[in-house]
Chains A and B, each alone.
Chain A
Amino acid sequence: MIEQNLSLLLVVIPLLAAPVTAMLPAGRLPWLLTLIVSWTCLVIAGWQLSVVIDGSVISYELGGWAPPWGIEYRIDAMNAFVALILSGIAAITLPYALRTVEKDIPRHQTSLFYAVFLLCLVGLLGIAQTGDVFNLFVFLEISSLSSYVLIAMGEQRRALTSAFQYLIMGTIGATFLLIGIGLVYAETGTLNMVDLNLRLQPILDHRTVHTGFAFIVVGIALKLALFPLHLWLPNAYKYAPSVVSVFLAATATKVAVYIMLRMVFGVFSNDFVRITPTDQMFLLLGIFGVILASVTAIYQTDVKRLLAYSSVAQVSYMVLGMGLASVLGITATLVHVFNHALIKGALFMACGALVYRVGSSQFENLNGLGRQMPWTFSAIFIAGLSLIGIPGTAGFISKWYFMLAALEQQSWLIALVILLGSLLAVVYMWKIVEVMFLRPASDNVASVKEAPVSLLIPMWVLVIANIYFGFYTELTVNVADSAARLLGVAAYHE
């Protein structure tokens, strides 16, 4: 009974819990409920993945309306994988949330905060679960609207302008996506992804289809913070409450990557990518994104903004993987979606711990802090190594697959860009390391203590996961590989 409804429960449970949370009295109770819900979601997502990991597909008909007329939740390895990442990050973020939210959010707003957090989770999970493009748009709006609210709850007043900037850009993106979906619907008369894919194949050369595709890609690229549409992201991550930065950095752009993969390769097709200049466009934007965003990261004077630009660069890697348009390329992208969630989750948690103790993430306030907060510093260090792609960490596995995918097609330029990207990552991560570890401590730092244990434990769970998934990759690589194959991507051959 439960197993048949797993896919729906994953969305319905947090959706129902959200209004309940909003009505609970302020304090720890809303947090507790959110925690329980997110852990339940994690269990369900794990269960769901174990069902589809062998390559089978769950098709759930909402309200008993058969697809393609009704809304279908269609779960294959890729959906389940993304859902697992989302609920996993939510589950690990919430223990971290308790102390930081008490500090960042006024007490009377905590119930609302957790309610909005749950809504954001609903939106993201819904995107991962649904097999219907319009339903996907609705969930995208749920998650976007709630993330505007979450960002606006930041302590400084600049959070409001950052959220507003994000709101404008996000809305433009959503509008583009909706226009694109409308055009495709006008051509085919269906909204179901599988059905769309079938009906689009004979008419792939229609102008309307091309226009719709362009609108869809640009719309998603805005949510993805794909270079050069990334300008909303650094401020949004910087001024958001710490826990929101952690959650969004580890999930929001990853879900956008998923949408891009699903729409481009699942709804349109690998052939469409090849006959149009889509793959070259992805490669071009990816190359510029990796290099320019990494260089920009080097010149930041604030850790959060530095990490945000690094996120833009990392997303560009994933776009490179899509541009390679092969099984290896997509596998690399999906593996990196998972690994980057671990890396950036850990880094933003550590950054949040610094803000928790020092009240700022500006470099000038962090001098010598590594000696006062050795555990937080070590977490930044190890997660940084993973970001660079040092062997023995999860980041190395991603880099390995990106490189293999590039070398398979003899794209030496792409291979060099990937290596250059990790060199630039060395530069900007080492900037943090030198400030925190080698500079003499400034006065404001002398009395600072290590972050509380409730912040350290989730942070270190992610750090250890970074190392674990650098050695044991059955979960990441196998699932990503079978997901890439299910997406209908062909292996590369000359």
Chain B
Amino acid sequence: MSDQQLLLLAVLLPFIGAIGIMLCGRWPNLREVVTLTTAATVCAVVITIYSRFNNGALLAVDIAEPLPGLSIRFEVESLGILFALVASSLWLITSIYAIGYMRGHHELNQTRFYALFAVAIGTTLGVAFAGNLLTLFLCYEILTISTYPLVAHAGTDEARRGARTYVGILLTTSIVLLLLAILITYTVAGSLDFREGGILAGKLDPAWAGLLYALFIFGIGKAAVMPFHRWLPAAMVAPTPVSALLHAVAVVKAGVFAVLKVTIYIFGTDFITSSGANDWLIWFAGGTILLASAVAMTKDNLKLRLAYSTISQLSYVVLGALLATNMGLLGGALHISMHAFAKITLFFAAGAILVAANKSDVSDMGGLGRAMPITFGAFLIGSLSIIGLPPFGGMWSKWYLGMGTVETGQWLLLSVLLASSLLNIAYLLPVPVRGFFGKSRDGTSYAQIQEAPLSCLLAMVITSLACLLLFFYPDPFYELALKAAGGK
């Protein structure tokens, strides 16, 4: 198969899968087979693209040219393939998990759920492979819209309110700020292509660079930089597989991925540092890291706590971008993958607790770990990786982000990173500690509670092993991130 066809296939296959899922809606087993087959094929296709890309192939394809000189274009580059690898492999694992969860939790409208899930992944891959800012914006918006019914899935008043906040904030930021930023970029630079070293240098008055950069950073609402973060906790009303894959991996990472892309290929790091565009913005990222961690500590609902943790972790990536140094970008790009594997493990565990024990509040979980050792064990591993302790993958990204702050002499930011790690310990570790060593609140025993369905456990074990593996063998992600960051 030619390179172009392969690339198109990667983006289109999930959509074809979605149609297949709709057609098989009446036979749940067949439907799940379609989901798994599609996910596995997409994963294989992305890996093939990765190997061809490593062999130096240029994979690019133009679909249409809706505006003169601006085409809908997909092109593979190192940052994109990194994101695509993470998203597609975790889709496969989440599909395994979702089957157990959705059946165990007796959710309604499962066909719609799986179909829209596939569409969301397709557009995520579109974001990953977007060859210019217009294509990225197109996929970004479709991603918002296709995930809306997933957030509103339960159909209750609470779900409706949550979904309204979700779509309201994401559409508002993207329409008012991001679109404006894109249009200004186009008016100034006459192009929206992603190019090494950026397209704005020498064309945009450096005095305005900070403002335009701010339009991008806040306009990409999916990166959840405060004060535009409220949509992410609101989205937690969705079923857990959605929170796990979309609101810990695909959607939010699409946001920070876009931030990295804009930083590297639209502005260019040299232009950012020379114009000082990042001077004050960087404190928004630093502030979000600390504030969101602090809020996370006050949340008793486990999914909400994880959501605020995600907000905080996303700003690590944004911080890496804003540092605009090789180390910072390397750390930010690595964090996309490291955080994805760790956070999805945590969400898997949260969902498993919900299915098996019907509990969602941390204060309720005392002693539960002894009844569900695998689930709480996985949660522990995920937590340690998020905190950034060896021997887990999360350590590497934090290491390079820290190096980035040292490199630029931002000692205050380094202390923000260290303080945040402490906060991570304070809000994540109580969950497994309470689970294994605590007592239940009203003294009931958990003798009748069993572990979650097998497929849920399987998914959790795979991702926690991946966290471990990524410490010893981060090479594929490391090399891609290094190439994107422009280091040797």
Contacts and interface: CB of A to CB of B under 8 A. Distances in A.
A422 B141 CA distance: 14
A477 interface: yes
B179 A470 contact: no
A438 interface: yes
Q: Chain A's interface: helix, strand, loop or mixed, by majority?
A: helix
Interface string A373-409: 0000000000001001111100001001001100110
A419 B176 contact: yes
Contacts of A389: 175
B183 A407 contact: yes
B175 A392 contact: no
Interface string B171-206: 110011001100110110000000000000000000
Instruction: Name, among A388, A404, A408, A438, the residue most crowded by chain B CB atoms within 10 Å (CB to CB).
Output: A438
B160 A472 contact: no
A404 B187 contact: yes
Contacts of B155: 438, 440
A419 B175 CA distance: 7
A430 interface: yes
Given A392-B138, A407-B187, A470-B66, A385 B175 contact: no
B192 to A, nearest CB: 11
Instruction: Name, among B155, B163, B167, the residue most crowded by chain A CB atoms within 10 Å (CB to CB).
Output: B155
A400 B186 CA distance: 11
A442 to B, nearest CB: 15
A161 interface: no
A415 interface: yes
B178 to A, nearest CB: 10
Contacts of B172: 423, 426
Given A426-B171, A430-B167, A471-B72, A397 B67 contact: yes
Interface in B137-161: 137-138, 141-142, 145, 149, 152, 155, 159-160
Contact of B66 (A385, A397, A415): A397
Contacts of B186: 404
A388 to B, nearest CB: 8
Contact of A392 (B68, B141, B179, B180): B141
A211 interface: no
Nearest to A403: B183
Given A407-B187, A419-B175, A426-B171, A390 B141 contact: yes
Contacts of A385: 145
Interface string B56-87: 00000001101110001000000000000000
Interface of B: 63-64, 66-68, 72, 134, 137-138, 141-142, 145, 149, 152, 155, 159-160, 163-164, 167-168, 171-172, 175-176, 179-180, 183-184, 186-187
22 contacts: A388-B171, A391-B134, A391-B142, A403-B179, A403-B180, A404-B186, A407-B183, A415-B180, A419-B175, A419-B179, A419-B180, A420-B176, A426-B167, A426-B172, A430-B164, A434-B164, A438-B152, A438-B155, A471-B64, A472-B66, A477-B67, A477-B68
5 smallest beta-carbon distances between A and B, as pairs: A391-B138, A471-B64, A419-B176, A407-B187, A403-B183
